[in-house]
Amino acid sequence: MALRAYWKGHIRLSLVSFEVRLHAAITATKKLSLHQYDKESGDRIHYQKVDESGNEVPKEDIIRGYEYEKGSHVPIDDDDLNNLKLESKHTIDLVQFTDINDVDPIYFEKSYYVVPQGEIAQEAFLTVREALKKAKKAAIGQVVLSGKERIVSLRPCGNGLIMDTLRYAYEVREAEKYFEDIPAKADVGKEQLSLAESLIEQKTKPFDPKAFKDHYQTGLMEIIEAKLEGHKATTKGKRSTAKNVVNIVDALKKSLEQSNKEKAKKTTKTTKSKAS
């Protein structure tokens, strides 16, 4: 079964151009969703589009527009948007390359898998993929998605490429004003710094997203299943509340001891499984 493409168009690198498809890399289909209901009747709550007087407006009577001053707007229709002369509506124009780790994660938005569209495009696609791999670079360009022109980053991913949409500079708040009351120079004791470094080293390992579970979703499902069975809704496990640490050195020592015990348990389990 062919996977449905989110977008089809071209990638252009200087005079080289080839067709590609984008497929959304993120899915929300497995997330539990809670809806709103009328407490008395149990009917599902729906939202209606109403004007300022509270009257419902039919879909065919709704237009888009830009409010240039309070109570006044300029109408914008599909013809206006289609008249925008942007090559990036149908083409990802690669304009520069950067080190693959140079883009600050705060700029990343959504991710899409990029695949060649047809056999003719495959040779050029593979050439770009291999060149990016060897250079350890990401390609930067722009494309129009969902009615907005986005900055994008393309980098190798398995046999294909992955494209990340990036935020513009004006969308990201400056960090300095939030951190201005935090001392730049750390007046930290050598012992607690050494303990913190040891704890970091002890807990350092490759990132594996499969090792992390969504406890909120699991707990919510337990509540739902319990209510369906007619039992009182409870979730397993104790609720722990984080508190400010009074003595950081003692807390770090205990954390390190706990980490060593956990590591010893895992080593014992691994040894037993190999022996069996």
Residue 29 vs residue 271, higher pLDDT: 29
SS (H, E, C) 188-240: CCHHHHHHHHHHHHHCCCCCCHHHCCCHHHHHHHHHHHHHHCCCCCCCCCCCC
Looking at the structure, do residues 92 and 187 belong to the same domain, yes or no?
Answer: no
pLDDT in tens, 1-21: 567 899 999 999 989 999 999
Half-sphere exposure of 209 (CA within 13 A, CB side): 0
Does any domain span residue 43?
no
Give the span between the Cα atoms of 204 and 138, in whole angstroms: 27
Highest mean pLDDT among 134-138, 236-240, 246-250: 134-138
234 phi, psi to nearest 5 deg: -135, 155
Domain co-membership, 99 together with 207: no
In 22-110, which ranges are continuous DSSP H helix? 78-82
**Which range of residues forms the domain containing residue 92?**
7-27+84-171
pLDDT at 229: 86
Task: Tell me the C-alpha to C-alpha distance, in Å, between residue 215 and each of 31, 138, 218, 221, 228.
Answer: 12, 34, 5, 10, 20
pLDDT of residue 249: 76
Q: How far apart are CA 204 and CA 202, in angstroms?
A: 6
Alpha helices in the chain (DSSP H): 78-82, 119-135, 176-179, 190-202, 215-228, 248-275
**Average of per-residue pLDDT across 218-246:** 71
State the residue for tokens 């494209």.
163
Let me know if residue 130 belongs to a domain.
Answer: yes
Per-residue pLDDT tens digits for 44-84: 999 999 998 999 999 999 999 999 999 899 999 888 877 77
CA-CA distance, 189 to 183, in Å (whole number)? 15
In percent, the amount of the chain with pLDDT more than 70 equals 89
Q: What is the pLDDT of residues 73-118, one digit of tens each?
A: 999 988 887 777 677 778 999 999 999 999 999 999 999 999 999 8
Higher-pLDDT residue of 240 and 208 is: 208
Same-domain pairing of 194 and 218: yes
DSSP state of 83: T
Cα–Cα distance, 79 to 67 (Å, whole number): 19
In a domain, 117, yes or no: yes
Q: What is the pLDDT of residue 80?
A: 85
* CA-wise closest residue to 7 among 117, 138, 93, 161: 117
Q: Is residue 58 part of a domain?
A: no
Give the pLDDT of residue 234. 56
| pLDDT value at 232 more than 70 | no
Q: What percentage of residues in the chain have a pLDDT greater than 90?
A: 53
- Domain closes at, from 171, 192, 211: 171
Q: How would residue 218 be classed by pLDDT, with cut points 50, 70 and 90?
A: confident
**Nearest one of 12, 165, 150, 155 to 94, comparing CA atoms:** 12
